[in-house]
Amino acid sequence: MVVRWELGMRLAGKTAIVTGGARGLGEAYVRVLADEGAHVVIADVLESEGRALAEDLGGRGSFVRLDVTDQTQWRSLVAGVLKDHGAPYVLINNAGIHSFGSVLEDTYDNWRRVQDINLNGPFLGINTVAPAMVAAKQGGVIINISSTCGIIGYGDQAAYVGSKWAIRGLTKAAAIDLAPYGIRVHVVVPGPFATPMTAPFHGELTELVKSQPVPRIGDPAEAGRLIRYLVLDATYSTGSEFFIDGGAMTGISLPGAAE
């Protein structure tokens, strides 16, 4: 389903970079930024989906293949963005992978792969893109994507949980370091959403969310609206965590408690 928002054009003339932007929540972020007038660079390894999305956006979107773990590719991306579209104003570090495996059974190779994509990728993004933002002297917004797995412990997901906790710490450090340059840094904490990544677990998630205060799986459009707020209106916030999880992190409902 393609979701459209009312065009506000508040980002006209601005450039945004969204990693993992070809589908799922990333696509929702791309579309809301484009609908606000930004030129959005869709940085992903999914070439067919990314190019199709860029084509659908017309002149407001372009696709660049990016492995977020490769510093050379990050540098090439930023150089191309500066040349073709001007300094980036928004960076959304959305690319990530999920992984099952307990601390007893997971392998070090898998642990490193998950950290490389979910944590080192955002670090490289900030480390490479932020200097261009600083040089442009126009401020900017960086948004990292964590998870409810980065707030409470989940079993059998050691590598994923570790990466999503760490991204919150990186966000706070970056917020302090970049504040003198007018660059705000936020972290978004999504709960279960209907995306291609969660599709294999849809049945389990449907049961899981029944205990939430908002007992349903999220729509990517809802996450897109939060991103729009953070980029455009959360001007008195930085280093902050914004939850969009159906209230899951408020606590656990006991069976029969509301009867």
Could you tell me if residue 202 is inside a domain?
no
Could you tell me if residue 212 is inside a domain?
no
Could you tell me if residue 57 is inside a domain?
yes
Selection from 21, 133, 22 nearest residue 78 by Cα? 133
Domain count, the chain: 1
What parts of the chain have a pLDDT lower than 50?
1-6, 254, 256-259
154 flagged as catalytic: no
Look at residue 194 in the predicted model and tell me its pLDDT.
86
Could you tell me if residue 249 is inside a domain?
no
Look at residue 5 in the predicted model and tell me its pLDDT.
41
The domain that holds 156 is classified in CATH as 3.40.50.720
Look at residue 130 in the predicted model and tell me its pLDDT.
98
Could you tell me if residue 165 is inside a domain?
yes
- Structural domain boundaries enclosing 24: 15-194+220-244
- Give 154's DSSP letter: -
User: Both ends of the chain: CA-CA distance in Å?
Assistant: 36
CB 68 within 8 A of CB 42: no
Could you tell me if residue 253 is inside a domain?
no
Could you tell me if residue 250 is inside a domain?
no
Measure the CA angle with vertex 69, ends 136 and 108; round to 5°. Answer: 145
Please, what's the b/e burial string for 42-57 (b: 16 or more CB within 10 A of its CB; e: otherwise)?
Answer: bbbebeebbbebbeeb
Residue of 29, 160, 181, 236 marked catalytic: 160
Could you tell me if residue 190 is inside a domain?
yes
